[in-house]
């Protein structure tokens, strides 16, 4: 398990820049200075390719202070710019420290960071954003002693402010004094600073003072363990990859998360994350151990999100998480607010692309015999084939499991005609997606890898040419003979 806190990366290209970088670092001790090899001495880490380095930092969600021209920074990041709401702060700072220009990350605090650095360098920050980001920054980035309880509502709240609604403030929110918010005692919108565990209403943002939150927590019904806020564990499914296939509840959860756990590739799919979110990339194959780690974190009062691709309950983490809870008699674990949020599973995503091959009864099988004996897999394929289910095969083949898929195909051929439509969906919803429809007679293991889901038709599944050259596949909802009409 590699644990990595989001960091602030200062990228330096010149000898003059390193001086400025060191001045900044003196006040931001957590920052890491990256220096161009051969040009810069005294950096914490060397690099030889600026573009690659800055893109990696950006995609990893690190705040970036680039000591070079804004143009170089923008051009280098252009290929990877996408998700405005989640991108980390990026600033360009002149080599000699004479200018501080916030470039990206308006919703994740770039202007706050720009002001801070400008103060260190004793210059004025070149803040170019008006209302929206000014409100956004002060609302989404309160000082460290406060925490916004419902960041998922901030976007609508800010949009309402921009649309002209006024706001009243209950409680002490000193950092908002300079924000030039449209304050009004009868304001339609409400900003509440409170230590109680209130539930946000529509048009309301709640800020909780952190230190006192802990003391008051014990009395609140949402918190049952002295001194702890109630932790949360959400097991979420990202869907196949395309962000449009992610349910909004999952998107909200990603904003709410304090700790994010998952395989690196899934974490990348879900990111980038803010600098206040901690990502725990895991390469631990032991699911129960990962599940327990998630509970341990959540039981300390943190909001933990565990990421799966597709649906978390389909050959993914949800089952291990629920099992870990069942196995535990730790009351702190049972008090964690546990939620499992579904996603579009690979079979459904591939089915949609090809028509409706799963339009009647179907079953989903994993061909992996890592966690179950091969005998039972063969038996299930044979019985499902005999019962005339359409089927989807996950984990169809891998290097250590070369002979299993050929066996599965043999069994299918004993029960299904050679014309039975087969859908091979690979990397659905991801770059390089491919979809093929072939008859069972032509199915060979070489066409399949771990990133493929195989859909096998029932005896009634049929296919026909589509106008774009591909094929439609469907399994009718009727069985036996086609009804009249
Ligand atoms: N929880 C995931 C499945 C994890 S098992 C889900 O619900 O989709 C991993 C297997 O899922 C892979 O071996 C492959 O068979 C399938 N799979 C996952 N994502 C896929 C995608 N985008 N395209 C095709 N198959 C995929």
Q: Whose CA is nearest to atom 11 of ligand 1?
A: 394
Ligand 1 centre from 158 Cα, in Å?
38
- Residues 456-468 have a mean pLDDT of 97
pLDDT of 448 strictly over 90:
yes
pLDDT of 390 strictly over 50:
yes
The preferred substitution site among 309, 318, 428, 435 for testing ligand 1, maximizing ligand atoms within 8 Å of CB, is 309
Q: Which of 316, 303, 322 is nearest to 343 (CA)?
A: 316
- Between CA 379 and CA 385 the distance in angstroms is 10
pLDDT band for 84, please (50, 70, 90 cuts). Answer: low
pLDDT of 228 strictly over 60:
no
Ligand 1 centre from 5 Cα, in Å?
28
- Residues 270-298 have a mean pLDDT of 87
pLDDT of 223 strictly over 90:
no
What number does CATH give the domain 1-127?
A: 3.40.50.11220
pLDDT tens digits, 113-140: 898 899 889 888 898 876 655 676 678 7
- Between CA 383 and CA 234 the distance in angstroms is 36
The preferred substitution site among 285, 401, 425, 451 for testing ligand 1, maximizing ligand atoms within 8 Å of CB, is 451
- End-to-end Cα spacing for the chain: 60
Question: For residue 4, what is the enclosing H or E element?
Answer: strand 2-5
Cβ neighbours for 463, distance < 8 A, ≥ 6 positions apart: 355, 421, 437, 457, 471, 472, 473, 474
By mean pLDDT, which of 82-91, 165-174, 179-188, 213-222 is the weakest?
A: 213-222
Q: Whose CA is nearest to atom 9 of ligand 1?
A: 395
Measuring CA to CA, how many Å separate 291 from each of 267, 307, 325, 334, 431?
Answer: 16, 11, 9, 13, 30
Report which of residues 84 and 463 the model is more confident about. 463
- Residues 347-360 have a mean pLDDT of 98
Q: Identify the bridge partners of residue 233 per DSSP, sorted by sequence position.
A: 304, 338
pLDDT band for 1, please (50, 70, 90 cuts). Answer: very low
Ligand 1 centre from 395 Cα, in Å?
7
Ligand 1 centre from 2 Cα, in Å?
24
How do 303-308 and 232-237 pair as beta strands? parallel
Report which of residues 389 and 1 the model is more confident about. 389
How do 63-67 and 90-93 pair as beta strands? parallel
Q: Residue length, the chain?
A: 485
How many percent of the chain have pLDDT more than 70? 92
The preferred substitution site among 310, 347, 358, 391 for testing ligand 1, maximizing ligand atoms within 8 Å of CB, is 310
Report for 167-176, 182-191, 205-214, 436-445: range of highest mean pLDDT: 436-445
Ligand 1 centre from 49 Cα, in Å?
34
Q: What is the pLDDT of residue 2?
A: 38
Radius of gyration of the chain (CA): 27
Which residues sit with their C-beta closer than 6 Å to ligand 1?
240-241, 308-311, 314-316, 345-346, 350, 394-396, 425-430, 450-453
pTM over 0.85: no
Atom number in ligand 1 closest to CA 429: 22
- Between CA 186 and CA 143 the distance in angstroms is 26
Ligand 1 centre from 239 Cα, in Å?
9
429: region left, alpha or beta (phi > 0 left; psi from -120 to 50 alpha): left
Q: What is the pLDDT of residue 224?
A: 41
pLDDT of 344 strictly over 90:
yes
Q: Which 3 state secondary structure label does DSSP give 478?
A: coil
- Residues 402-420 have a mean pLDDT of 97
Provide the residue ranges of all domains of the chain, joining segments of one domain with +. Answer: 1-127, 129-209, 228-340, 346-474
Scanning 341-426, the segments in alpha helix (DSSP H) are: 346-354, 374-386, 404-415
Per CATH, domain 228-340 is 3.40.1010.10? yes
The preferred substitution site among 340, 342, 394 for testing ligand 1, maximizing ligand atoms within 8 Å of CB, is 394
Report which of residues 240 and 157 the model is more confident about. 240
Instruction: State the chain's mean pLDDT as an integer.
Output: 89
pLDDT of 95 strictly over 90:
yes
Ligand 1 centre from 451 Cα, in Å?
6
Q: Which of 411, 399, 477, 469 is nearest to 440 (CA)?
A: 411
Report which of residues 410 and 481 the model is more confident about. 410
- Residues 373-394 have a mean pLDDT of 98
Q: What is the pLDDT of residue 180?
A: 74
Atom number in ligand 1 closest to CA 366: 5
Cβ neighbours for 152, distance < 8 A, ≥ 6 positions apart: 252, 255, 256
pLDDT band for 213, please (50, 70, 90 cuts). Answer: very low
Q: Which of 125, 129, 121, 128 is nearest to 158 (CA)?
A: 129
pLDDT tens digits, 192-205: 998 888 889 999 99
Q: What is the 3-class SS of 181-226, one letter each residue?
A: CCECCCCCEEEEECCCCCCCCCCEEEEEEHHHHHHHHCCCCCCCCC
pLDDT of 247 strictly over 70:
yes
Q: What is the pLDDT of residue 198?
A: 85
By mean pLDDT, which of 2-16, 54-68, 230-244, 256-270 is the weakest?
A: 2-16
Q: What is the pLDDT of residue 217?
A: 42
Ligand 1 centre from 21 Cα, in Å?
44
Atom number in ligand 1 closest to CA 347: 8
Q: Tell me how many degrees the CA angle 233-143-235 measures, rounded to the nearest 5.
A: 10
- Token reading at 36: 């161009």
Report which of residues 229 and 354 the model is more confident about. 354
How many percent of the chain have pLDDT more than 90? 66
Q: Which 3 state secondary structure label does DSSP give 115?
A: helix
- Residues 401-430 have a mean pLDDT of 97
Report which of residues 60 and 246 the model is more confident about. 246
Ligand 1 centre from 139 Cα, in Å?
38
Q: What is the pLDDT of residue 233?
A: 98
The secondary structure of residue 94, as a DSSP letter, is: -
Superfamily of segment(s) 346-474? Tetrapyrrole methylase, C-terminal domain (3.30.950.10)
- Residues 356-366 have a mean pLDDT of 98
Report which of residues 178 and 309 the model is more confident about. 309
CA 400 from centre of chain: 30
Atom number in ligand 1 closest to CA 395: 13
- Token reading at 435: 């979809």
The answer to whether 306 touches 294, Cβ cutoff 8 Å, is yes
Q: Which 3 state secondary structure label does DSSP give 125?
A: strand
Ligand 1 centre from 364 Cα, in Å?
11
Q: What is the pLDDT of residue 29?
A: 82
Q: Which of 157, 181, 180 is nearest to 168 (CA)?
A: 181
Q: Whose CA is nearest to atom 13 of ligand 1?
A: 395
pLDDT of 216 strictly over 60:
no
pLDDT band for 451, please (50, 70, 90 cuts). Answer: very high
């Amino acid at each position: 398990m590699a644990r990595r806190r989001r960091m602030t990366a200062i990228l330096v290209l010149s000898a003059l820049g390193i001086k400025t970088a060191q001045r900044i670092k003196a006040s931001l001790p957590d920052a890491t200075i990256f220096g161009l090899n051969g040009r810069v001495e005294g950096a914490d880490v060397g690099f030889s390719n600026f573009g690659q380095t800055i893109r990696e930092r950006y995609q990893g969600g690190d705040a970036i202070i680039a000591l070079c021209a804004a143009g170089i920074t923008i051009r280098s990041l252009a290929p990877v710019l996408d998700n405005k709401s989640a991108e980390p702060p990026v600033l360009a700072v002149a080599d000699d420290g004479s200018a501080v220009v916030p470039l990206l990350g308006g919703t994740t605090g770039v202007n706050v960071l720009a002001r801070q650095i400008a103060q260190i360098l004793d210059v004025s920050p070149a803040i170019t954003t008006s209302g929206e980001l000014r409100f956004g920054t002060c609302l989404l980035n309160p000082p460290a002693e406060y925490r916004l309880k419902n960041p998922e509502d901030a976007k609508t709240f800010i949009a309402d402010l921009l649309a002209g609604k006024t706001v009243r403030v209950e409680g002490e929110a000193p950092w908002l004094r300079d924000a030039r918010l449209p304050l009004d005692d009868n304001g339609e919108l409400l900003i509440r600073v409170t230590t109680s565990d209130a539930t946000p209403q529509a048009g309301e943002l709640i800020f909780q003072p952190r230190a006192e939150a802990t003391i008051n927590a014990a009395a609140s019904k949402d918190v049952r363990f002295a001194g702890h806020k109630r932790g949360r564990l959400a097991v979420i499914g990202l869907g196949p990859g395309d962000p449009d296939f992610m349910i909004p509840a999952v998107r909200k959860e990603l904003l709410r998360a304090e700790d994010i756990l998952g395989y690196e590739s899934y974490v990348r799919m879900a990111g980038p994350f803010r600098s206040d979110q901690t990502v725990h990339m895991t390469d631990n194959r032991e699911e129960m151990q990962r599940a327990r780690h998630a509970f341990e974190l959540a039981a300390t009062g943190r909001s933990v999100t565990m990421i799966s691709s597709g649906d978390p309950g389909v050959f993914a983490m949800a089952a291990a998480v629920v099992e870990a809870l069942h196995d535990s008699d730790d009351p702190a674990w049972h008090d964690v607010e546990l939620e499992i949020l579904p996603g579009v599973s690979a079979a459904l995503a591939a089915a949609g692309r090809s028509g409706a091959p799963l339009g009647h009864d179907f079953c989903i099988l994993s061909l992996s015999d890592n966690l179950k004996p091969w005998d039972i897999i063969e038996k299930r394929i044979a019985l499902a084939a005999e019962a005339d289910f359409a089927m989807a095969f996950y984990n169809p083949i891998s290097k250590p499991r070369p002979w299993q898929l050929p066996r599965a195909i043999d069994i299918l051929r004993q029960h299904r005609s050679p014309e039975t439509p087969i859908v091979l969906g690979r990397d659905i919803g991801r770059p390089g997606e491919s979809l093929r429809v072939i008859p069972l007679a032509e199915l060979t293991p070489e066409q399949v890898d771990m990133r493929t889901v195989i859909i096998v038709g029932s005896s009634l599944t049929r296919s026909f040419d589509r106008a774009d050259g591909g094929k439609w596949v469907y399994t009718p909802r009727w069985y036996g003979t086609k009804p009249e009409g």
